[in-house]
């Protein structure tokens, strides 16, 4: 468990202390126009009212992950290949989304 | 204080990479970011290993700060340009240290690492060598740092600005949403604190909003009383450094302090008042 507010390694496996039955995890990958995984994309989580909640940077696998709560969320990706926005209706457990960025 | 006195643009940075007396410093929690590529000539400072006391819960003192900057080859008269990840949270936190210890000329790179990367500007893995210096830090300036008793006394008396996310403020979450929710201290906020998430002070690309937009945000939308002193806090004091920078360095309010103990201290104190929900609450 990190004791700061910065983003943990996004490619790492879920920590053993995370109970997937209880947590609501929003995860997925960022891809570019060519369908390639994008490392170094900035992915932010916005709540139901569009308010910023958190931001992570994708690792080598183009992966991102947030610990949130059930409900409506917006994912917003910025990268050197362009931007993307995705809507998620999250429920308890793993919620997966693919974000395709383009100019 | 004008914006250009405390912030430099990515274009300015690119033009001044080789200017004598200008030192670029990347400040991150995750130093693998620096190792994987950084602005040419930039040295690194580790948010935890370099800036925190290894034993007590406190940050480095005057001697430790002098020693750190001497080892890294920074002189008292250098122009220090700080940047980092997380929308410059840790760079703003380090900026606050440089001001606490009286460094004359320190600036933030607007947008930090994020803007630099989104612009696809050049990075290198080459680590520069700098000759050690004899850096002398000034005594800590307590006009910029708030301690817990002062924070409790400020309830209903000064502006308190809680810069965490709305869910952390209301007590629905204990930590930001990219971290597991597994901590044990009490949730909520300091009564009468206004909720202005740090992110509202920044654009999507990590640059700071304009002074007009910031004034609109803090004074007109949130209700900050310009006639009163202000204390900003978050969970551990780095997101609030970002807001402290916006309020003191960009908007020019003279009496603004950062409470680095923040919610991890306040939310664990015995007997202090706590407010729950989306409203500031009363004294």
Domain containing residue A93: 38-100
Locate A64 and state its tokens. Answer: 């991102």
Strands B230-233, B159-162: pairing kind: parallel
**SS3 assignment, position B72:** helix
Render pLDDT for B187-243 as a digit per residue (tens, 0 to 9).
Answer: 999 999 999 999 999 999 999 999 999 999 999 999 999 999 999 999 989 999 999
Distance CA B147, CA A67 (A): 31
Rounded average pLDDT over B123-137: 97
Please determine, for residue B247, whether its predicted confidence score (pLDDT) is greater than 60. yes
Cα B84 to the center of its chain, rounded Å? 11
In a domain, A9, yes or no: no
pLDDT (0 to 100) of residue A46 = 93
In a domain, A78, yes or no: yes
Distance CA B184, CA B150 (A): 24
pLDDT (0 to 100) of residue A2 = 40
Q: What is the mean pLDDT of each run of 10 residues along chain A (103 residues)?
A: 55 68 90 94 92 88 91 95 95 95 91
- Interface residue B189 vs chain A (CB under 8 A): no
Distance CA A97, CA B154 (A): 44
A residues 43-102 closer than 8 Å to B (CB): 44-45, 47, 51-57, 65-69, 76, 78-80
In a domain, A73, yes or no: yes
Nearest residue of A to residue B116, measured between CA atoms: A80
Distance CA B10, CA A102 (A): 23
Distance CA A63, CA A79 (A): 13
Look at A78 and B29 and tell me if their CB atoms are within 8 Å: no
In a domain, A77, yes or no: yes
DSSP B113: H
Do residues A21 and A62 touch, judged by C-beta distance below 8 A?
A: no
Cβ contacts of B220 within 8 Å, gap of 6 or more: none
Look at B48 and A4 and tell me if their CB atoms are within 8 Å: yes
Distance CA B179, CA B37 (A): 25
pLDDT (0 to 100) of residue A3 = 45
In a domain, A49, yes or no: yes
In CATH, what number is assigned to the domain containing residue A60?
2.60.40.10
> pTM of the prediction?
0.89
Locate B63 and state its tokens. Answer: 């001697």
Share of chain B above pLDDT 70, in %: 97
Backbone angles phi, psi at B239, to 5 degrees: -60, -35
| CATH of range B148-266; options 3.40.250.10, 3.40.50.1980, 3.40.50.11740, 1.10.1200.10 | 3.40.250.10
Nearest residue of A to residue B172, measured between CA atoms: A69
Strands B22-28, A52-57: pairing kind: unpaired
The shortest C-alpha distance from B107 to chain A (Å) reads 22
In a domain, A71, yes or no: yes
Query: Which CA distances in Å does B51 have to B84, B114, B238, B240, B269?
Result: 15, 22, 12, 16, 24
Start-to-end CA span in chain B (Å): 34
Question: What topology does CATH give the domain B3-118?
Answer: Oxidized Rhodanese; domain 1 (3.40.250)
User: Measured between beta carbons, which residues in chain B are less than 8 angstroms from residue A53?
Assistant: 165, 167, 176-177
Question: Is residue B95 among the annotated active site residues?
Answer: no
Look at B204 and A78 and tell me if their CB atoms are within 8 Å: yes
Q: In chain A, how many domains are there?
A: 1
Share of chain B above pLDDT 90, in %: 86
Render pLDDT for B40-82 as a digit per residue (tens, 0 to 9).
Answer: 999 999 988 999 999 999 999 999 999 999 999 999 999 999 9
pLDDT (0 to 100) of residue B177 = 67
Distance CA B61, CA B50 (A): 11
- DSSP letters, B16-55, are TTT-TTEEEEEEES-THHHHH-B-TT-EEEETTTTTB-SS
pLDDT (0 to 100) of residue B86 = 83
What residues does A99 pair with on adjacent strands?
A: A30
Distance CA B121, CA B56 (A): 39
Catalytic one among B146, B234, B246, B275?
A: B234
- Average pLDDT across chain B, whole number: 94
Distance CA B282, CA B160 (A): 12
Look at B85 and A6 and tell me if their CB atoms are within 8 Å: yes
pLDDT (0 to 100) of residue A1 = 35
Q: How confident is the model at residue B111 (pLDDT cuts 50, 70, 90)?
A: very high
Do residues B207 and B115 touch, judged by C-beta distance below 8 A?
A: yes
In a domain, A15, yes or no: no
The shortest C-alpha distance from A65 to chain B (Å) reads 7
């Amino acid at each position: 468990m990190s004791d700061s507010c910065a983003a943990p390694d996004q490619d790492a496996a879920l920590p053993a202390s995370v109970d997937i039955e209880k947590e609501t995890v929003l995860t997925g990958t960022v891809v570019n126009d060519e369908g390639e995984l994008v490392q170094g994309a900035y992915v932010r989580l916005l709540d139901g009212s569009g308010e910023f909640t958190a931001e992570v940077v994708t690792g080598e696998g183009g992966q991102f992950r947030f610990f949130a709560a059930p409900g409506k969320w917006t994912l917003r990706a910025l990268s050197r290949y362009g931007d993307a926005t995705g809507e998620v209706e999250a429920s308890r457990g793993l919620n997966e989304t693919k974000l395709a960025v383009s100019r | 204080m004008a914006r250009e006195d405390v912030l430099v643009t990515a274009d300015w940075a690119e033009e001044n990479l080789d200017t004598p007396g200008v030192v670029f410093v990347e400040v991150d929690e995750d130093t693998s970011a620096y190792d994987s590529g950084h602005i040419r000539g930039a040295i690194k400072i580790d948010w935890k290993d370099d800036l925190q006391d290894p034993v007590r819960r406190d940050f480095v003192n005057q001697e430790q700060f002098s020693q750190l900057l001497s080892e890294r080859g920074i002189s008292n008269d250098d122009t220090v340009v700080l940047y980092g990840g997380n929308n410059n949270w840790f760079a703003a936190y380090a900026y606050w240290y440089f001001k606490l210890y009286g460094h004359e000329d320190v600036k933030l790179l607007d947008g930090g690492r994020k803007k630099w990367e989104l612009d696809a500007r050049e990075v290198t893995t080459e680590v520069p060598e700098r000759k050690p210096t004899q850096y002398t830090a000034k005594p800590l300036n307590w006009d910029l740092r708030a301690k817990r008793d002062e924070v409790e006394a400020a309830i209903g008396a000064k502006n308190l600005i809680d810069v965490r996310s709305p869910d952390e403020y209301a007590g629905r979450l204990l930590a930001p949403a990219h971290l597991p929710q597994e901590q044990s201290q009490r949730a909520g906020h300091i009564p009468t604190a206004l909720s202005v998430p740090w992110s509202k002070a920044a654009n999507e690309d990590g640059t700071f909003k304009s002074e007009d937009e910031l004034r609109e945000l803090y004074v007109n939308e949130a209700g900050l009383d310009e006639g009163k002193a202000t204390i900003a806090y978050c969970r551990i004091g780095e997101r609030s450094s970002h807001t402290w920078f916006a309020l003191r360095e960009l908007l020019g309010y003279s009496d603004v302090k950062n409470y680095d103990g923040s919610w991890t201290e306040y939310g664990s104190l015995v007997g202090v008042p706590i407010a729950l929900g989306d409203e500031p609450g009363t004294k």
